[in-house]
């Protein structure tokens, strides 16, 4: 997702009470929306496996707040009616549950979503409905286990006024006209995905087939009819981006890709196979190429290979950020990549110097994770791995990581093990220092050309409490040398028969660090 919060947030970010006690296998949602009010009527059939014995199944579902917004449960059945209570944003279903039981619950509910579903008018004044679940806001409109570590297949059956077109995850399997000028639209996603990317969208759309990936997967554009021409033009870039990413990472994991103009509060939201973009992303000038690349990259990283917990969000956002950089480099050249990395290095340095937060961050304020650590620093970590291991090993590691964790969940150490196995190198120190420390390297480099010795003398002083270990490239005008810095203070000599009159530190933009360079007199 791209960080562009477009609306005031009505957020009650909490950590799910489930804590891995259940494993949801499948969600089947029947949802009805209307044009008379913002009320939603739903039925949820949830199939799950118990991971231990307990006396209550607990699901996330927002309770009604003081303003009358939230969900009211009207009935819960399993094999028979069961005892339940719904309070404090959790649905408790009583019973004597054994470990490894497969259970199915039918939950009937209704209400006005307080969040997680943007019901409003679009920029042209037309009513629309767009689910907006990230990070754990799905429970505002559907009962679920609202955490990234529990992935499930999903089916959405949406009943809406007939003038709406409906988009959702997976393939459309049914569209039926109903009485009273209503229409039923059904989508099914047969691969397990996290709740953060399970969505529906309903609006008056113009729909275009932008292209076919691999001759069998449709890439479509869903835009508001008033900017149909501009939207089809802008979103038409998606097919080429999809092909490039597929060639680099591995086969595209879903059966369709829909790019949707929407009312998401973010710049873009990477919902599985149905990406929602902010409504002003359509301009007719193809200004959002990198936004499309970022969100499409999430289809592999974040949606298919998913972080176990939000503490490891960089495995989603950092990957999407750097995959976008790689795409830009392939299309526009190395200088374009370096320019992007230089700008993002400054952003990361400024953020970490003021926030003092590590990349792996266990905060419960999940919205605060949409920061330079998760995005830009995560991308920089991958960039430095690429520089250290080389393009071939890096690409092979990325492909191996994705192949190993597709449809699964991973954490940072899982990625580390993949890179170590592919490269044959111990990367413990690398991962520790870049991802668990709440500061970045800061050093002062001074240099002097020694005429008699015909050598360049370099002194590096690290200015952080604990030193980092990192390579630094030094360009002396005629060649580039690499030195390995490990200590608080150390010196290096580089032979040179030619007098050196200037030194450029990190000429290839390979190091995330704050540094100064000066010539000794």
Per residue in 483-497, pLDDT (tens digit) is: 999 999 999 999 999
Cα–Cα dist 226/215, whole Å:
30
Q: Does one domain contain both 313 and 235?
A: no
User: Residue 5: which pLDDT band, with cuts at 50, 70 and 90?
Assistant: low
Identify which has the larger pLDDT, 54 or 9: 54
- Number of domains comprising the chain: 3
Q: What average pLDDT does range 16-35 have in this prediction?
A: 85
Q: Does one domain contain both 383 and 265?
A: no
Mean pLDDT value across the chain: 96
Cβ density class 202-235: b for 16+ within 10 Å, e for less: bbebbebebbebeeebebbbbbbebbbebbbbbb
Q: Does one domain contain both 338 and 275?
A: no
Res 382: pLDDT: 99
Per residue in 267-287, pLDDT (tens digit) is: 999 999 999 999 999 999 999
Residue 5 in any domain: the answer is no
CA 246-251-255 angle, 5° bins: 110
Which residue range(s) make up the domain with 497? 442-519
CATH number of the domain enclosing 353: 1.10.390.10
Res 14: pLDDT: 43
Instruction: Report the DSSP pairing between strands 22-32 and 152-161.
Output: parallel
Q: Does one domain contain both 30 and 89?
A: yes
Distance of CA 294 to the CA centre of its chain: 9
Res 401: pLDDT: 98
Q: What percent of the chain has pLDDT over 70?
A: 97
Residue 87 pairs in a beta bridge with 90
Res 252: pLDDT: 98
Q: Does one domain contain both 72 and 30?
A: yes
DSSP string covering 256-305: -EEEEEE--SSSEE--TTEEEEEGGG--SS---HHHHHHHHHTTTBTTTE
Per residue in 154-179, pLDDT (tens digit) is: 999 999 999 999 999 999 999 999 99
Residue 340 is classified by DSSP as H
Q: Which residues contact 216 (CB under 8 A, 6 or more apart)?
A: none
CATH number of the domain enclosing 191: 2.60.40.1730
Residue 13 in any domain: the answer is no
Of 384, 383, 376, the residue nearest 349 (C-alpha): 376
Per residue in 114-168, pLDDT (tens digit) is: 999 999 999 999 999 999 999 999 999 999 999 999 999 999 999 999 999 999 9
Q: Does one domain contain both 261 and 123?
A: yes
User: Residue 19: which pLDDT band, with cuts at 50, 70 and 90?
Assistant: low
Per residue in 426-444, pLDDT (tens digit) is: 999 999 999 999 999 999 9
Q: What average pLDDT does range 209-219 have in this prediction?
A: 96
CA 301-363-70 angle, 5° bins: 85
200 burial level (CB within 10 Å; 0-12, 13-18, 19+) = buried
Cα–Cα dist 306/302, whole Å:
4
- Distance from first CA to last CA of the chain, Å, rounded? 50
Is the pLDDT confidence value at 424 over 90? yes
User: Residue 9: which pLDDT band, with cuts at 50, 70 and 90?
Assistant: very low
Of 247, 278, 297, which closes a domain? 297
Residue 3 in any domain: the answer is no
Cα–Cα dist 278/181, whole Å:
29
Is the pLDDT confidence value at 391 over 90? yes
Res 456: pLDDT: 96
Res 80: pLDDT: 80
Q: Does one domain contain both 372 and 447?
A: no
Q: Does one domain contain both 334 and 292?
A: no
Q: Does one domain contain both 261 and 278?
A: yes
Helix (H) or strand (E) holding 296: helix 289-297
Q: Which residue has the tokens 């044009």?
A: 35
Paired tokens of 295: 């969100």
Residue 12 in any domain: the answer is no
Measured in degrees and rounded to the nearest 5, phi and psi for residue 464 equal: -95, 165
User: Residue 244: which pLDDT band, with cuts at 50, 70 and 90?
Assistant: very high
Q: Does one domain contain both 166 and 92?
A: yes
Kindly report which listed range (7-16, 199-208, 322-331, 410-419) carries the lowest average pLDDT score. 7-16
What is the sign, positive or negative, of the torsion defined by CA atoms of 210, 211, 213, 218?
A: positive
CATH number of the domain enclosing 485: 2.60.40.1840
Is residue 109 classed as helix, strand or coil in its secondary structure? strand
Cα–Cα dist 207/219, whole Å:
11
Is the pLDDT confidence value at 15 over 70? no
Per residue in 60-95, pLDDT (tens digit) is: 999 999 999 999 999 999 988 899 999 999 999 999
Res 521: pLDDT: 78
Q: Which residue has the tokens 């093990």?
A: 417
Res 81: pLDDT: 80
Res 343: pLDDT: 98
Cα–Cα dist 86/79, whole Å:
20
Of 393, 409, 435, which closes a domain? 435
Per residue in 323-355, pLDDT (tens digit) is: 999 999 999 999 999 999 999 999 999 999 999
Of 256, 279, 297, which closes a domain? 297
Res 6: pLDDT: 53
Q: Does one domain contain both 29 and 163?
A: yes
Kindly report the pTM of this predicted structure: 0.96
Per residue in 231-241, pLDDT (tens digit) is: 999 999 999 99
Number of Cβ within a 10 Å radius of residue 374: 24
């Amino acid at each position: 997702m791209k960080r562009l919060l477009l609306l005031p947030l009505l957020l009650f970010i909490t950590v799910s009470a489930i804590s891995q006690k259940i494993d949801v296998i499948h969600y089947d949602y029947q949802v009805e929306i209307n044009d008379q009010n913002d009320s939603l009527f739903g039925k949820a059939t949830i199939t799950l496996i118990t991971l231990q014995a307990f006396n209550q199944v607990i699901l996330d579902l927002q309770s009604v707040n003081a303003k009358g917004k939230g969900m009211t449960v009207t009935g819960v059945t399993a094999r028979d009616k069961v005892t339940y209570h719904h309070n404090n944003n959790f649905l408790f279903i009583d019973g004597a549950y054994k470990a490894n039981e497969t259970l199915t619950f039918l939950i009937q509910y209704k209400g006005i979503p307080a969040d997680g579903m943007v019901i409003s008018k679009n920029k042209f004044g037309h009513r629309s409905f767009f689910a907006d679940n990230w990070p754990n806001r799905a429970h505002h409109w559907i009962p679920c286990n609202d955490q990234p570590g529990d992935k499930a297949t999903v089916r959405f059956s949406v009943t809406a006024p007939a003038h709406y077109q409906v988009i959702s995850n997976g393939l459309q399997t049914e569209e039926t006209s109903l009485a009273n000028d209503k229409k039923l639209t059904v989508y099914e996603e047969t691969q397990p995905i996290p709740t953060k990317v399970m969505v529906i969208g309903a609006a008056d759309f113009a729909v275009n087939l932008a292209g076919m990936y691999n001759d069998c997967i449709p890439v479509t554009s869903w835009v508001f009819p008033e900017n149909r021409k501009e939207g089809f033009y802008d979103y038409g870039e998606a097919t080429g981006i999809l092909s490039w990413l597929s060639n680099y990472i591995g086969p595209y994991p879903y059966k369709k890709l829909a790019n949707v103009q929407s009312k998401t509060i973010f710049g873009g939201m990477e919902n599985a196979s149905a990406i929602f973009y902010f409504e002003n992303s359509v301009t007719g000038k193809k200004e959002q190429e990198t936004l499309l690349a970022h969100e499409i990259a999430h289809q592999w990283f974040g949606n298919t290979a998913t972080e176990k917990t939000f503490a490891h969000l960089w495995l989603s956002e950092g990957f999407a950020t750097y995959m976008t950089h790689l795409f830009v480099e392939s299309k526009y050249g190395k200088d374009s990549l370096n320019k992007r990395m230089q700008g993002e290095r400054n952003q990361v340095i400024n953020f970490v110097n003021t926030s003092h937060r590590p990349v792996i961050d266990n905060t419960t304020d999940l919205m605060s994770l949409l920061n330079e650590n998760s995005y830009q620093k995560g991308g920089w970590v991958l960039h430095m791995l690429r520089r250290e291991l080389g393009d071939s090993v890096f690409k092979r590691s990325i492909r191996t990581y994705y192949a190993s964790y597709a449809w699964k969940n991973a954490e940072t150490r899982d990625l580390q093990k993949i890179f170590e196995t592919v490269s044959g190198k111990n990367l413990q120190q690398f991962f520790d220092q870049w991802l668990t420390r709440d500061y970045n390297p800061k050093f002062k480099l001074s240099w002097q050309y020694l005429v008699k010795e015909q050598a360049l003398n370099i002194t590096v002083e690290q200015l952080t409490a604990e030193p980092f270990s990192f390579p630094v490239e030094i360009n002396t005008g005629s060649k580039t040398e690499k030195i390995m810095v490990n200590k608080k203070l150390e010196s290096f000599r580089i032979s040179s028969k030619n007098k050196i009159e200037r030194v450029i530190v990190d000429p290839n933009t390979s190091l995330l660090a704050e540094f100064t360079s000066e010539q000794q007199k």
